[in-house]
Structure 1
Amino acid sequence: MKKLIFYIILIALLFAAILFGHHAIGEKGRIFIAMGDLRIQMTVVSAGIVLLASSIGVIIIGWLLVKLARMLTGSRNWFGSLSRRKQQKAFHEAINACAIGDYESAQKAISKTFPGEFGGSNYILAADIDRKVNNGNNLENLLSIAETFEASAVSAKAQQAAHFVQQHQFDKAKEVLEGIDTKAQNQAVIARLWLSVLAALGQWDEVKERLKLHKKVLGDDYVVWAQQATQGEFAEIASKHGANALRQKWEELPRAAKKDIANQIVFIQLLIDQGLSKDAEPILVDLAKKSQHSAFHSLFKQLKHPSPFAAMRLIESWIKADPENAKLYSVLAHLAYNSGDSELAEKAVRKALELASDPDDGRLLARLLEQQNAFEKANNVYKGLLTS
């Protein structure tokens, strides 16, 4: 409002200068202007005053034209600081409404801030609100506007990529991430988005390259992603080229990678999934001897081939060292059952259930009883499982 009054005063001074400027200074150095019947004469100094006032007038007219254009194009910033204060108030109202989960009120408030001088932050917030209120129906439009502001371009693209990931549109997400400038690519949030997209697309070589580039910013997540990359690569090799190629890839791994238990479990699991239980047994036994990790238990239970003597001897040696460990009896029971030794399986599973109740062991006992045609006893076991 103060600026508007100031401009009005300047306009008044302009007209005053034009009409009376030639009277303001003495008569030295006259300038004569003749337009039809109109005759104007003034000194050089008064002519300078008129020119200065005219320049100010041009500025004021330009300001008025800008305000008129904003009004016609739908801008709410018609009256300078007065409108900006209202927009800032609406922006803060939207933030406060989001904080208490009142997203409908937040949406109404944030809509009053457009276009606003917030560097695109209001569009970023509006997109987040739209995701919660309208399932992101207008999200892409809001983020595309936010991208036009330098301050919010990276945030807008990151949100858009995350939205595409949630929608399982991984190719679109990758396209958006490729549009982010080089400097911002090393931000942790962008690096994680890249890894998520590339992993979903099965592009494990690119995942490994990204891990090398962003090891520092990923922190503890680096190890998790490195393991996942190896696991994904193993799975892809197994599905496309079979077990021989998988074994060759395992042999080519660095020693540190072979010592990683996550990689060991994935490798053995994939061999079992390929129907190579007999090939998996010696590898599993060798690794389990070096590290008696409980994570190997489920792998032993999945071995399914005749006479897994090496695996049985190892489990029995563990049981001798720890005779009250129900999990070890459970492993031996499942291993014996899968190899066709029902007698050993029943003895081991009964001992396991004696030490600790476990639904999987209960179901195994029921199956063994059914094989003996002891259906009533089997039904009692099943009833016990339902009750527990």
Structure 2
Amino acid sequence: MKRFFIILLILLLAGAWLGQLMVQDPGYVLMAYKETTVETSLWVLLLIAIVLFAVLHTVLNLITRAGVPAQRMRDWRGRRNHKIAQGKTLKGLMALSEGNWWKAQRYLTQAAERSEQPLINYLAAAKAAHEQGDASGADQLLQKAREATPKAEVAIGIVQAQIQLARGQNEPALATLLHLKRLAPKHSYVLKLLKETYVRLNDWSGLNKLMPDLKRHQVLPDEQVRRLETEAAHHLLDQSLAEQPAEADSKTRLQAVAHTWQSLPANCTHDNQLIEQYTQLMVDAGSADEAEKMLRDQLKKQWDESLVRLYGRIRSSNPHKQLETARGWAKKQDESAALELTLGRLAMQNEHWGNAISHFERSIELEPGAEACAELSRLLTHLGEGERASAVAARGFELMNGALPALPLPPAKQHAPDKD
């Protein structure tokens, strides 16, 4: 209250002072523009300026305030749409998790139309449409997602590839994933889906080329990567010979197999099973001498029983040299049943029947096996030792299939002597 009276007193004093000034000297102002002149006192001019300022200020305030209700309305509508979109998104996601595909698609699509960021809604709605078997609806929703968020091509493409794989559209899925790989070459999930697609398509060449990326970005556990590498290499080797025309000569067939072998990852060329397969393919291609040399070199580096067995099956142009090579190994591997089996086979190739029998018997002694029994039985049969061959064959049968149970048998029939 005191402040009000103080301000009023100050205003009265200021007014009295101004009034005295106006009486003492009203001042004179002359304004001229071309042929028009305006004459007035200084105080009147100041009063007109104050009034004009007040009028302009009032008009501007009215214009500004007129736009506030419209902005408030827009803000209110935005908040309302956001709230509705949130509610429908929540209902849609709940329906999606419950497997209610139709309801999920409806709520999520409605929410997308009101949302400022509709990407998630469109992608989830596309999955719901796919689950209903609505391929056209799913594709349309994915297209809407692209139009709404063009920069989310990788996320949209992943959903599209997943839907294509689920439909069994492996070739379109491969095209989609290769496009995504160009956009995001380090994206681990894209690489994982691409691996799955190559396996589905039996595209072992494509998978073999993808393996470095799977390793570099650690997409899969190391053990799974090794299994995939081995599987791809196995199929590629088989295809290398199977895809050759029937009229291809042995040199062409060998080059095809060798080219595939050289394209494999380094660790595959040290895998004994793959080496065994490669050797057998070289033999099948009509290149037994090259197979023998490759296998001999490999056994010098690393001894392996399965490769030793395979060495005895190779029929090179110089079986005597093969036999001498195997005899050299026997000086260090004198307790190897596999090597004795191989020595027996190589002895047969050189027609050393007695030595072959000795090696087969030694192999059975070291490690009874059906394969050695079969070889020995066959050789004894051809040498006219039928009774001994039958005994060996019976033992081999037991090793392969297990001993027969003791069961009653009819008495052996006695053949009547021939009449003169």
TM-score range, shorter chain: 0.5 to 0.7
* Stretch deviating more after TM superposition (216-225 or 82-91): 216-225
Identify the match of residue 86 of structure 1 among 91, 95, 108. 91
Match of 1:350 in 2: 361
CA contact (8 A) 2:254 2:287 kept: no
Task: Show the 5 A alignment for 1:196-215.
Answer: 204=205
Match of 1:107 in 2: 99
**Judging changes above 3 Å, is the alpha-carbon distance between structure 1 residues 286 and 52 closer, same or farther for their aligned structure 2 residues?**
closer
CA contact (8 A) 1:350 1:365 kept: yes
- What amino acid is aligned across from residue 321 of structure 2 in structure 1? A
1:261 aligns with 2:252: no
CA contact (8 A) 2:360 2:372 kept: yes
Once residues 399 and 238 of structure 2 are traced to their aligned partners in structure 1, the CA distance between those partners, rounded to angstroms, is: 41
CA deviations over 1:132-162 (Å, ceiling 9, x no partner): xx9xx67897588568463732432453565
Equivalent residue of 2:303, what SS?
coil
Equivalent residue of 1:275, what SS?
coil
Match of 1:70 in 2: none
**Judging changes above 3 Å, is the alpha-carbon distance between structure 1 residues 352 and 259 closer, same or farther for their aligned structure 2 residues?**
same
Deviation at 1:177, TM superposition (A): 2.1
CA contact (8 A) 1:362 1:385 kept: no
Task: Show the 5 A alignment for 1:150-165.
Answer: 150=152, 152-160=155-163, 163=166
1:236 aligns with 2:227: no
Once residues 359 and 315 of structure 1 are traced to their aligned partners in structure 2, the CA distance between those partners, rounded to angstroms, is: 22
Once residues 344 and 173 of structure 1 are traced to their aligned partners in structure 2, the CA distance between those partners, rounded to angstroms, is: 61
Once residues 195 and 88 of structure 1 are traced to their aligned partners in structure 2, the CA distance between those partners, rounded to angstroms, is: 30
CA deviations over 1:108-140 (Å, ceiling 9, x no partner): 4x6653353745664687699x6xxx9xx6789
Match of 1:273 in 2: 284
Match of 1:318 in 2: 329
Instruction: Among all aligned residue pairs of Structure 1 and Structure 2, give the percentage whose two residues are the same amino acid.
Output: 15
Deviation at 1:52, TM superposition (A): 4.9
Match of 1:328 in 2: 339
CA deviations over 1:276-329 (Å, ceiling 9, x no partner): 324422332233223323452353143135762333323333333232222222
Match of 1:183 in 2: 183
Once residues 298 and 370 of structure 2 are traced to their aligned partners in structure 1, the CA distance between those partners, rounded to angstroms, is: 28
**Judging changes above 3 Å, is the alpha-carbon distance between structure 1 residues 47 and 177 closer, same or farther for their aligned structure 2 residues?**
closer
Equivalent residue of 2:282, what SS?
helix
> Which runs of no fewer than 5 residues in structure 2 stay unpaired?
1-54, 109-117, 147-151, 404-420
CA deviations over 1:8-51 (Å, ceiling 9, x no partner): xxxxxxxxxxxxxxxxxxxxx9xxxxxxxxxxxxx998898676
CA contact (8 A) 1:140 1:160 kept: no
CA contact (8 A) 1:160 1:176 kept: no
Deviation at 1:272, TM superposition (A): 0.8
Deviation at 1:175, TM superposition (A): 2.0
Task: Show the 5 A alignment for 1:137-148.
Answer: 145=141, 148=145
CA contact (8 A) 1:146 1:152 kept: no
Once residues 331 and 191 of structure 1 are traced to their aligned partners in structure 2, the CA distance between those partners, rounded to angstroms, is: 46
1:387 aligns with 2:402: yes
CA contact (8 A) 2:95 2:104 kept: yes
Identify the match of residue 294 of structure 2 among 271, 283, 294. 283
> Which runs of no fewer than 5 residues in structure 1 stay unpaired?
1-28, 30-42, 67-76, 95-105
* Stretch deviating more after TM superposition (367-376 or 268-277): 367-376
Deviation at 1:343, TM superposition (A): 4.5
**Judging changes above 3 Å, is the alpha-carbon distance between structure 1 residues 218 and 359 closer, same or farther for their aligned structure 2 residues?**
farther
Once residues 344 and 140 of structure 1 are traced to their aligned partners in structure 2, the CA distance between those partners, rounded to angstroms, is: 75
* Stretch deviating more after TM superposition (145-154 or 312-321): 145-154
CA contact (8 A) 1:297 1:331 kept: yes
**Judging changes above 3 Å, is the alpha-carbon distance between structure 1 residues 379 and 201 closer, same or farther for their aligned structure 2 residues?**
closer
**Judging changes above 3 Å, is the alpha-carbon distance between structure 1 residues 146 and 311 closer, same or farther for their aligned structure 2 residues?**
farther
Once residues 223 and 230 of structure 1 are traced to their aligned partners in structure 2, the CA distance between those partners, rounded to angstroms, is: 11
Once residues 139 and 306 of structure 2 are traced to their aligned partners in structure 1, the CA distance between those partners, rounded to angstroms, is: 45
CA contact (8 A) 2:309 2:339 kept: no
CA deviations over 1:179-199 (Å, ceiling 9, x no partner): 326232333443455567668
CA deviations over 1:164-220 (Å, ceiling 9, x no partner): 7xx5x653343222332623233344345556766856684x667656777622585
Once residues 243 and 154 of structure 1 are traced to their aligned partners in structure 2, the CA distance between those partners, rounded to angstroms, is: 46
CA deviations over 1:319-372 (Å, ceiling 9, x no partner): 332322222223334555567665544433332222224343344445445545
Q: TM-score, normalised by structure 2?
A: 0.53
Once residues 325 and 318 of structure 1 are traced to their aligned partners in structure 2, the CA distance between those partners, rounded to angstroms, is: 10
Deviation at 1:274, TM superposition (A): 1.2
Count of aligned pairs: 312
- Higher normalized contact order (CA 8 Å, seq sep 6+, divided by chain length): 1
- What amino acid is aligned across from residue 183 of structure 2 in structure 1? K
CA contact (8 A) 2:335 2:366 kept: yes
CA contact (8 A) 1:123 1:145 kept: yes
Task: Show the 5 A alignment for 1:112-151.
Answer: 112-114=103-105, 116=108, 118=120, 122=124, 145=141, 148=145, 150=152
Equivalent residue of 1:323, what SS?
coil
Task: Show the 5 A alignment for 1:10-29.
Answer: none
Once residues 379 and 237 of structure 1 are traced to their aligned partners in structure 2, the CA distance between those partners, rounded to angstroms, is: 38
- What amino acid is aligned across from residue 286 of structure 1 in structure 2? D
* Stretch deviating more after TM superposition (258-267 or 174-183): 258-267
CA contact (8 A) 1:307 1:339 kept: no
- What amino acid is aligned across from residue 381 of structure 1 in structure 2? G
- What amino acid is aligned across from residue 312 of structure 1 in structure 2? L
Task: Show the 5 A alignment for 1:41-52.
Answer: 52=68
